[in-house]
A and B are shown apart, each in its own frame.
Chain A
Amino acid sequence: MPLWLREHSWRQTLTAVYLSLPLRGARATAANIFCSEQYLKVSVPPFLFEAVLYAPIDDTNSTAKIGNGNIFFTLYKKEPAMWDSLTLANADKEKLQHLRENAVLKAQEKAKEETKAKKITKQEHKKYALMATMKVEEAERKRIEDLKEKEREKVTKELELWKNQQKDGDKYKSIQTKEELHQEIESLKERKNEKMNKTRIPNEGSSKTRLKSTRGHGSCSIFSQDLKEEQLPAPRAAATIKVNFTPRVFPTALRESRVAEEEEWLYKQAEARRIINSDLSELEDLKEEEKNPDWLKDKGNKMFAMGDYLGAVNAYNLAVRLNNKLPVLYLNRAACHLKLRNLHKAIEDSSKALELLTPPVPDNENARVKAHVRRGTAFCQLELYTEGLQDYEAALKIDPKNKIIEKDAEKIRQLIQGAMQSS
């Protein structure tokens, strides 16, 4: 039962009510105070103070000051009027309860609204922050663009300048060459005149001398040309250089990242070719169908069915030579060896078959069961019962529903136990 606090004191003005509540040593925090429009409650266990106010107050603006073992409330009235008393005098229990509930509800609603308002303001703040950062980034980008533009313009201007220089240079050069040509032509003309004068005077001169002199002067004009050509050496004497290339099988270009793949491909090709070619001499006598491993396997199966175990083994041998990656050949050959009581060979073949059946998938379950059973049988016939049992159990694991295997496994177990007991 809470202790009711009755020793409160209060005074009022037209607009506000001042309530002082001594706490008698207990400490209060804001959580202990519950206030709504017409209801005020302070609950500091074990003390309880409750007041249904005379008239509604503005609970958002009202304040409570906690300190000095005292809570001092400043409640602002909604309607400025003097109250007869702090609380409603004739409040019966039901009304009180009603009021309390209302108060609580109202408080809850207020709380919800406050949280909503907070959310909205938060979102707005976020948006604002985003806009601000975007603006800043835009400004940065613009700054960089401007710098780039400036560079570009500067460079374009330089280019134009250079181009104009070029053009002027060319013009100047062309003018110069024209002048030079002029001069050359004139000098040539002079020389020609001289030549003519010279040749005219010694008219009786021998043809040789005339020729000499003309040649001498004639070559003046082509002299400059010769000089230029002599500056260039004659075309090289033609020759061939033979070239060897780093050998490469593929016609494509060499890439380091593909080297591994290429090596693998070549290796596989080489292997395939080796297998085909290795027995080529002997196989020449065989007919076309006899070179097909599948046909040979069928032949072997038929011979097994007829009881010709040696013939079946031969057929399987040849098939294996042609294609040593077919597990079924080894399986069947193991069966033949079992019948022939070549137990070691049977074990070998079943093991090889199991190796080839390495990814243990549901597809090759049957084959694996057979392999295990055959190997197990061979072991047992060699009296290696423990190994045999291992194989039978492996077979059972793959195919637990097979009764025959179960029975045989039981037999072997008993044999082992019997052997252990006797020894």
Chain B
Amino acid sequence: MSAVLGSERPQVVSHVQQALSYTVFDCKWVPRSARLMCLGSAARGTGVIQLYELRGARLEVLREIEKPKPIKCGTFGATSLQQRYLATGDFDGNLNIWNLEAPEIPVYSVKGHKEIINSIDGVGGLGIGEGAPEIVTGSRDGTVKVWDPRQNDTPVANMEPVQGESKRDCWTVAFGNAYNQEERVVCAGYDNGDIKLFDLKTMSLRWETNIKNGVCSVEFDRKDINMNKLVATSLEGKFHVFDMRTQHPAKGFASVSEKAQKSTIWQVRHLPQNRDIFMTSGGSGSLHLWKYEYPAQRSKKDSEGSEMGVAGSLSLLQNVTLSTQPISSLDWSADKKGLCVCGAFDQTVRVLIVTKLNKI
């Protein structure tokens, strides 16, 4: 923690810490509540879903569900507020959607991939945005697949390697640009440093680039607006912020990059209440809170007259080290500003509160 508490910088206060008996891979707030989900892998090789409620200074276990395969990731992004079904991806490549009131049988289940599903994202639910609810999964088998819960067995979009090409692991996926019913974009990051942007309306590759280090996490600042900013974090402690408003035909999107830590940056998450603030979590167990400042002019013309984006600048608001192990998952609460949960590989889940975010 920073020693200078008297200043106006946001402080990261550790509210609750809970030791778990399994490895936690993902933790998510249940929308519209003070409850959170932890997903992971127990020592005996089975998957665990735990539902906690924040009560006073403690986390109380409400439910504990065991599944045959370890679970790697989950999202509430594609369900309605009334249903609040959890979509999970597991180590075997299965995508399941669970009703937490009746978790024995999944509401939707498909063996989407041949290998572990590394990352999952959902859009169209929770009253955010418009369009069909969809779930995208990225897997070690090199494919990215988009699923509609109303359609069984086959994905509605499949981004797979060309025949004969050797595959690269897809490590992260994110939805974006879902500002009306037709538009939608999927961004995928791979272990060889590739970032690819797929446009689902035209079913084509809209942009790709390589950031020279394996991409651990990508996120748009908001899923349901015209795509504004994309943050991609990678190995070797670097992350890039792309300005997605202006695409140059040859140079793509403008970006600013920062080398924050010596170790891998595992996750990036934008504050739901302020899209210019985001938190990155690192392999050394530290969290960095960043603010992006827009440049005076977001786009300019280059020598041939085509529009080129201008990237802004980043400032570090706060940084705190919570653990000695990587913090692999992070989630802000959409209901209370500054409340977030993070799960680390030291088998603990921590609820943190970031103060003074109103003053930024």
Contacts and interface: CB of A to CB of B under 8 A. Distances in A.
Interface residues of A, number: 36
Contact of A236 (B159, B169, B200, B335): B200
Contacts of A170: 32
A252 B181 CA distance: 39
Contact of B210 (A232, A237, A246): A246
B162 A242 contact: yes
A47 to B, nearest CB: 69
A414 interface: no
Contacts of B198: 241
A252 B214 CA distance: 9
Contacts of A234: 132
Interface stretch (B41-49, B97-105, B150-158): B150-158
A148 B13 CA distance: 8
Interface stretch (B61-69, B186-194, B283-291): B186-194
Contacts of B157: 236, 238-241
A244 B159 CA distance: 10
B236 to A, nearest CB: 6
A254 B211 CA distance: 9
A187 B192 CA distance: 61
A160 to B, nearest CB: 7
Contacts of B33: 166
B15 A155 contact: yes
Which residue among B3, B196, B353 has the maximum number of chain A CB atoms within 10 Å of its CB? B353
B107 interface: no
A244 B165 CA distance: 7
B301 interface: no
Interface string A322-343: 0000000000000000000000
Contact of B335 (A166, A245, A254): A166
B54 A151 contact: no
A255 B212 CA distance: 7
Contact of B162 (A151, A152, A244): A244
Given A159-B339, A244-B161, A255-B213, A238 B154 contact: yes
A152 B194 contact: no
Contacts of B56: 156, 160
A253 B191 contact: yes
B360 interface: no
A241 B203 contact: yes
A238 B156 CA distance: 4
Contacts of B192: 245-246, 248, 253-254
B212 A148 contact: no
B326 to A, nearest CB: 15
Contacts of A163: 34, 54
B353 A238 contact: no
A148 B205 contact: no
A159 B355 contact: no
Contact of A151 (B165, B200, B355): B355
B160 interface: yes
Given A159-B336, A244-B161, A239 B5 contact: no
B132 A233 contact: yes
A163 B58 CA distance: 13
Contacts of B165: 243-245
Contact of B236 (A239, A241, A256): A256
A132 interface: no
A255 B214 contact: yes
Contacts of A240: 157-160
A235 B15 contact: no
B336 A233 contact: no
A159 B54 contact: yes
Contacts of A252: 191
B207 to A, nearest CB: 13
Given A156-B57, A162-B336, A245-B194, 16 more contacts: A144-B5, A148-B1, A148-B13, A163-B54, A238-B157, A239-B157, A240-B157, A242-B160, A242-B162, A243-B142, A244-B165, A245-B142, A245-B166, A245-B192, A256-B236, A257-B236
Interface of B: 1, 3, 5-6, 11, 13, 15, 32-34, 54, 56-57, 131-134, 142, 146, 148, 150-151, 154-162, 165-169, 171, 181-182, 190-194, 196, 198, 200, 203-205, 210, 212-214, 235-236, 335-336, 339, 353, 355
